[in-house]
Chains A and B, each alone.
Chain A
Amino acid sequence: MFKKRILLIVVSSLLALYNFAQDVNLDSLLDAEMDKKIKSETQLTEATFKTGRLINSHTVETAQKGVLDFKLSHRFSTADDGFYDMLGLDNAISIRVGGDYGLTNRLTIGGGRSSYEKEYDAFLKYRLLWQSSGKTNMPVSLTLVSSAMLRTLKPVNDSIKISTGDKFSYAFQALLARKFNSNFSMQLMPTMVINNPSILKDNSAPSKLLSIGIGARLKLSKRTGIIAEYYYQLPDYKLPGSYNPLSIGYEIETGGHVFQFNISNSTGITERTAVTETKNPFNLDNLHLGFNISRVFSIKKPKDYSRLSNNNVHAAPVYDTAQVAVAKEKEPIQYTQATFTTTRLINGHTVETTQKGVLDLKVTHRFGKLNTGFYNVFGLDQASMRIGADYGITNRLTIGGGRSAGGLVNPSLKEYDGFIKYKIIQQSSGEKTVPFTLTALSSVMYNSLRETKDIGVKDPVNGGYYTDSSQTVKINNSDRFHFAYELLLARKFGDALSVQLMPTMVHYNIVPNSSVPNDLFTIGAGIRVRLTPRSNLNLEYYYQLPGYKLPGTYNSFAVGYELETGGHVFQFQLTNSYGTTERTFLHETSGSWGNGDIHFGFNIARVFTIVKPKNVE
């Protein structure tokens, strides 16, 4: 019996040792599992291109199921008038606003409206083949695109009647692409555009137009790339006088957005206008600067985790949010974050400053007045723009500037601005309680409108060139400057509500009317009401003190809706102001809400980290 027990102990300890000795190597086990998985599954090649458009053309990419890809494209006028028109940037002669929506991961529908020739378009896009590796090896992707375009521009001569059916054009494309490696993708784009013969100016022109396009993307860095596309029109199947379009662009992809800057000899953005109706060759006089912005919104929420994982999914764990919250409360001083979502409420500044080392790019548009009717899509065909940026020197000190151009909304607006902004007091709670935030702002604006209508200068309003200089006005350089000083006092009342007061003084070096003082005063009030964690309703109103305002102007009032998402803020608004600098919207608002002089507009703010924050705080 005793022997047996000894034996048992020996055997069991041996066994234990044996078990220790053949310890599993989890690393190699994991590698083997991953390897097995890669071989047993098909890996669809993702991101052959970054978005559904190369520059003007479609790419093989389709929108993810349930995702709306909002598209905004601008083509500016040619750069031949130099810096006065900011290389054409003052006039967005071609704007397309549209969207792509993923019905399934392979099937996308979409449409848009272009201001160029007042054109509507709609398309259907299907990804027939999807490049893949692993279980199924597919060397290329093939996507078919079918689109219809409707031109609604009225003929110059009213007597010409065009039936609606004749205003349609159709395009068919077969896009064949391959992602050669993570750096380089290329696609071939055989294209057919069909015009209705009755709208062709030249009866000898073919109605079926054929071209072969080629496009490519070359990755420069993790998030940026160079893109290019070119169409060769078959000699017997092109419109007389049309040129082959070439477009070259630079793209930045970041968190659900793609920004593309491009130059192109084509003005239009749809297949008909860009591929077959490019009127000028690719040379310095005929280049259009342009940009495309693409932003995805999840309309239908994807089910958690379901996107790629196909293993047996465990029941989603219940997350203990309280635990996370408690851990946070221990911090001694809590600075109030995000009193407002970004550094602008609608037109005016907020108390917010830009984080240190971060550049906040701002693009704002104010379209024409809503009361201009449907033909001009309620003003959307014209835009007054500001392009600028804020940069955080420290977390409290921001400098910034921009350039405003009135476009066709107000051709006499050509202005540069610069500002400096400092957050003096920061609202906080906890150990140190401060009830409000105080920021001071000082800005300078320079009006760069040409003073003379010299013979030979382009007339931005009526087109053509000036022929008489009778309206000559000379403006001294110093009189072009305007200065604004503003104090911003804000308080965040919980997450739901933030309020700010903005007393402002604007100094004009010269005022149009001698009975008006050079220093003009306003008191503004702004409110942000939270609708959902990511969207807010914004209101701002500026009251001009009687006796300190320009005659014939109205108080600026704006209502906005803002969406905040991954480093971006989108704001849509209605306002009676066409400008977005202190001088223009505070004191030169000529429209009245009562008369229906309301501009639809949007602001886009996008932050870029220029100086990386240090790893450990």
Chain B
Amino acid sequence: MKTLSVVILILAAFNVNAQDYLTRNGNISIYSHTDLEDVKGNNNEVVSLLNSATGSFDFKVAIKSFHFAKAAMEDHFNDENYMETDKYPKAGFSGKITNMADINFSKDGVYTVTVSGNLSVKDVTKPVTAKGTITVKNGKVSIQSTFTVKRKDYHVMGQSFVQSKLSDDIQITVNCDYDKR
């Protein structure tokens, strides 16, 4: 009887300490800076899953949910010269925290992390490593990371005359607040 109650308690504890953290409204923004023009796109409908036991990180975004200040920018972003959204409606990232030993998901604090994995945009999947922070507070987990990718690596070419207005390096910023699943 005593054993059973201990097991139940442990089970309950494990459930509270479950390893899956999920968000349905994470934020990813993209940014290109040139002297001529700054382009910023924002997506507040990112779904992401973080497993605190294995350190695995997964993101999925709908390209259509990126919004821009100007309607024309948004049209262009989705068209066949850039993201080809009709053909490739989603992009994703799948990776792992490489320094799991430094992070204690059961203790409040701000942890510096490095995540390595594969970023899939359009028809290209390439390895990406990004630095960021994980904040644990009152059992909630949020992450923040900024990294840069080369858009041409992912076949985002653009028309020739916009090349001077669109940086080759696109800065990606991730901001997600997770809830326990």
Q: Which residues of A contact B (CB under 8 A)?
A: 3-4, 7-8, 11-12, 15-16, 19, 24, 26-27, 29-30, 33-34, 37, 46, 64, 222, 255-256, 296, 298, 301-309, 311-314, 316-317, 319-321, 323-325, 327-328, 337-338, 355-358, 495, 533-534, 564, 566-567, 607, 609, 613, 615-617
Chain B nearest CB from A261 CB (Å) reads 21
| B146 on the A face (CB < 8 A) | yes
Q: Flag if B44 contacts A309 (CB, 8 Å).
A: yes
B55 at the interface (CB under 8 A from A): no
User: Given the complex of chains A and B, what is the CA–CA distance between A296 and B75 in angstroms?
Assistant: 15
Question: Which listed segment binds A: B95-103, B104-112, B133-141, B164-172?
Answer: B164-172
Q: Would A37 and B157 be within 8 Å (CB), given that A304-B69, A317-B146, A319-B31 are in contact? A: no
Q: Mark each residue of chain B from 1 to 12: 1 if its CB lies under 8 Å from any CB of chain A, else 0.
A: 001001100110
CA distance A399 to B20 in the complex (A): 62
* Bound complex: CA A593 to CA B140 (Å): 72
Closest chain B residue to A354 by CB distance?
A: B161
Contact A313 B10 (CB under 8 A): no
Contact (Cβ within 8 A) B35 A495: yes
Nearest 3 Cβ contacts at the A-B interface: A311-B44, A305-B42, A317-B173
**Given A19-B19, A309-B44, A324-B160 contact (CB < 8 Å):** no
The one of A19, A26, A356 in contact with B47, judged by C-beta atoms closer than 8 angstroms, is A26
Of the residues A26, A320, A321, contact of B92 by C-beta under 8 Å:
A26
| A314 with B167, Cβ < 8 A, contacts A33-B45, A533-B35, A613-B157 known | no
Contact indicator B62/A30 (Cβ below 8 Å)? yes
Bound together, the chains give a CA A392 to CA B24 distance in angstroms of: 48
Say whether B67 contacts A567, CB under 8 Å.
no
Chain A residue at smallest Cβ distance from B51: A19
Residues of B within 8 Å of A24, CB to CB, are: 20, 22, 49, 181
* Shortest distance from the beta carbon of A66 to any chain B beta carbon, whole Å: 11
B119 to A: closest C-beta gap in Å: 14
Q: Give the distance in Å from the alpha carbon of A309 to the alpha carbon of B76 in the complex.
A: 17
Check B146 against A11 for contact (C-beta < 8 Å). no
- Provide the residues of chain B in CB contact with A566, threshold 8 Å: 72, 162, 165
Q: Are B152 and A617 in contact (CB under 8 A)?
A: yes
Cβ distance B129 to chain A, nearest Cβ, rounded Å: 15
A567 lies within 8 A of B159 (CB)? yes
> Which among A26, A303, A533 is the interface contact of B37 at CB below 8 angstroms?
A533
Residue in contact with B160 in the complex, picked from A27, A319, A613, CB distance below 8 Å: A613
Give the residue name and chain of the B residue nearest to A305 (CB): B42
Q: How far is the CA of A320 from the CA of B60 in the complex (A)?
A: 24
Give B117 Cβ to nearest chain A Cβ, in Å.
13
A306 contact set on B, CB distance < 8 A:
69
Contact (Cβ within 8 A) B148 A323 = yes
Q: B69 near A30 (CB under 8 angstroms)?
A: no
Name the residue on A nearest B94 (C-beta). Answer: A26
Q: Which residue of A lies closest to B147 (CB)?
A: A323
Q: Are A4 and B11 in contact (CB under 8 A)?
A: no
CA A238 to CA B62, docked complex, whole Å: 54
Partner of B49, one of A26, A308, A609: A26
| Given contacts A24-B49, A314-B27, A338 and B169 within 8 Å (CB-CB) | no
A29 touches B47 (CB 8 A): yes
Q: Which of B40, B48, B62, B181 is close to A34, meaning CB atoms less than 8 Å apart?
A: B62
- Taking each of A317, A320, A323, which has the highest tally of chain B beta carbons within 10 Å of its own beta carbon? A317
- By beta carbon, the residue of chain A nearest B43 is A309
Q: Is the CB of B70 within 8 A of A298?
A: yes
Chain B residues, Cβ within 8 Å of A338: 164
Tell me the bound Cα distance from A583 to B76 in angstroms: 41
* A304 and B14 form a contact (CB under 8 A): no
Contact A320 B67 (CB under 8 A): no
With A and B bound together, what is the CA distance between A34 and B65 in angstroms?
9
Say whether, besides A317-B29, A319-B31, A355-B161, A533 and B36 are in contact (CB < 8 Å): yes
Nearest residue, chain B, Cβ from A7: B7
Whether the pair B45, A19 counts as a contact (CB closer than 8 A) is: no
Q: Does B53 touch A at the CB level, under 8 Å? A: yes
Instruction: Report how far A312 CA is from B58 CA in the complex, Å.
Output: 22
Please give me the residue from chain B that is nearest to A322 by CB atom: B33
What are 18 A-B contacts defined by CB distance under 8 Å? A15-B11, A19-B18, A27-B90, A30-B60, A46-B71, A64-B71, A304-B69, A308-B67, A311-B45, A313-B27, A313-B42, A313-B44, A324-B33, A338-B164, A357-B160, A358-B161, A609-B159, A613-B160
Q: How far is the CA of A291 from the CA of B40 in the complex (A)?
A: 34
Whether B10 pairs with A12 at a CB distance below 8 angstroms is yes
Task: Say how far B102's CB is from chain A's closest CB, in angstroms.
Answer: 21
Contact A319 B44 (CB under 8 A): no
Are the C-beta atoms of A29 and B24 separated by less than 8 Å? yes
Q: Which of B11, B69, B161 has the most CB of A within 10 A?
A: B161
Rounded to whole angstroms, the CA-CA distance of A328 and B79 in the bound complex is 27
Q: Are B53 and A19 in contact, CB atoms less than 8 angstroms apart?
A: yes
Q: Are B72 and A256 in contact (CB under 8 A)?
A: yes
Tell me if B114 counts as interface (CB < 8 A to partner A).
Answer: no
Is there an interface contact between A609 and B60, defined as CB atoms closer than 8 Å?
A: no
Bound state CA distance, A314 and B25, in angstroms?
10
A533 to B7, CA, bound (A): 67
Residue in contact with B67 in the complex, picked from A16, A307, A356, CB distance below 8 Å = A307
A338–B34 Cα distance when bound, in Å, is: 13
User: Given contacts A27-B60, A298-B70, A319-B31, could you give 18 more A-B pairs where the C-beta distance is less than 8 Å?
Assistant: A4-B6, A11-B11, A15-B14, A24-B20, A24-B22, A26-B58, A26-B59, A26-B60, A222-B80, A255-B72, A308-B74, A309-B44, A312-B44, A314-B44, A323-B171, A534-B37, A567-B162, A617-B152
Asked if B87 lies at the interface with its beta carbon under 8 angstroms from chain A, I say: no
Known A304-B42, A309-B44: A8·B10 in contact at CB below 8 Å? yes
A328 to B34, CA, bound (A): 11
**Nearest A residue to B150, CB-CB:** A327
Complexed CA–CA distance, A30 and B22 (Å): 12
The residue among B19, B67, B68 with the most chain A CB atoms within 10 A of its own CB is: B67
| Cβ of B85 under 8 Å from chain A | no
Interface residue from B62, B70, B79 paired with A222 (Cβ < 8 Å): B79
**Residue B125 lies at the interface, judged by CB distance under 8 Å to chain A:** no
Q: Which residue of B lies closest to A10 (CB)?
A: B7
The verdict on B118 contacting chain A, using a C-beta distance below 8 Å, is: no
Q: Is the Cβ of A16 less than 8 Å from the Cβ of B53?
A: yes
Q: Could you tell me the distance between the alpha carbons of A12 and B7 in the complex, rounded to whole angstroms?
A: 10
Is B155 among interface residues, defined by CB-CB distance under 8 A? yes
Q: Are A301 and B69 within 8 A (Cβ)? A: yes
A358 touches B69 (CB 8 A): no
**CA–CA, A314 and B43, complex, Å:** 10
A298 to B72, CA, bound (A): 11
B116 interfacial by beta-carbon distance below 8 Å: no
